[in-house]
Amino acid sequence: MNDTLKTISERFSCRNFTDRVPENKYLEAIAQAAIQAPSGMNRQYWHVIVVKNRDLISEMDKEGIGILSHMKDISAYERIMKRGGKLFYNAPCMILIAIKEADPKGGELIDCGILAQNISLAATSLGIANLHCGFVRLAFAGDRANEFKAKLKFPDGYECGMAVLLGYTENAVLPHVPNQNKITYIE
């Protein structure tokens, strides 16, 4: 197995972050890996926002949890509560991916996911635990959306795509076990 395959096999979703903030040199390397991602027609309808402001992360967490708690289906809220009640699991840092709608619509989401995985794998390769976080969008679903967008310096016309939480783990866990039935070979 080469280093890339090893990194892919070792990546796991971290939900128990310590307070230690990833070093700037690593965050810069990860941000560079992010914007190295391919995008449809090289449109790059994304903006990478590295957030280390813990007060802001905490405010977004509270806003997101509030919105989750008022959803008709409260199963996700209950799951988060069982996991400690924090949408961002006390991560000291996140990279938020802001995106702009593509034409045809939807392409920007594919680009966003690929960029997020670049972040996740680059972080893993540097020993930085991480979690893809779709729930970050909840923080932008209510009254404080524009306030957060302003504080995070979203470019005009951009919306929240997703985030990758970053930090160091209390204890590493194993990733999901790949389901081999999900592969078909045609010869």
Using the minimum distance from each CB to ligand FMN, give the nearer residue, 47 or 132.
132
Among 77, 135, 154, 168, indicate the residue that binds ligand FMN (CB under 6 A): 135
Region of 1-9, 33-41, 58-66, 129-137 interacting with ligand FMN (CB under 6 A)? 129-137
Query: DSSP readout, 146-183?
Result: HHHHHHTTPPTT-EEEEEEEEE-BSS----PPP-GGG-
Around 106, how many Cα atoms within 13 Å sit in the side-chain half-sphere? Answer: 1
Give the integer Cα–Cα distance in Å for 91 and 29: 19
Q: Provide the minimum distance between the beta carbon of 95 and ligand FMN in the complex, in angstroms, as a whole number.
A: 13
Q: Which phi-psi region, left, alpha or beta, contains residue 14 (left: φ > 0; alpha: ψ -120 to 50)?
A: beta
Q: Which helix (H) or strand (E) holds 28?
A: helix 24-35
**SS3 label, residue 75:** helix
Tell me: does residue 13 bind ligand FMN (CB under 6 A): yes
CB 166 within 8 A of CB 128: yes
Region of 61-69, 97-105, 125-133, 147-155 interacting with ligand FMN (CB under 6 A)? 125-133
Q: Provide the minimum distance between the beta carbon of 156 and ligand FMN in the complex, in angstroms, as a whole number.
A: 25
Give the integer Cα–Cα distance in Å for 102 and 174: 36
Region of 38-46, 56-64, 131-139, 144-152 interacting with ligand FMN (CB under 6 A)? 131-139
Give the integer Cα–Cα distance in Å for 55 and 10: 31
Site string for ligand FMN, 149-168 (x = CB under 6 A): -------------x------
Tell me: does residue 26 bind ligand FMN (CB under 6 A): no
Region of 66-74, 97-105, 128-136, 152-160 interacting with ligand FMN (CB under 6 A)? 128-136
Instruction: Kindly list the residues in this chain that would bind ligand FMN in the complex (CB under 6 A).
Output: 12-13, 15, 131-135, 162, 175-176
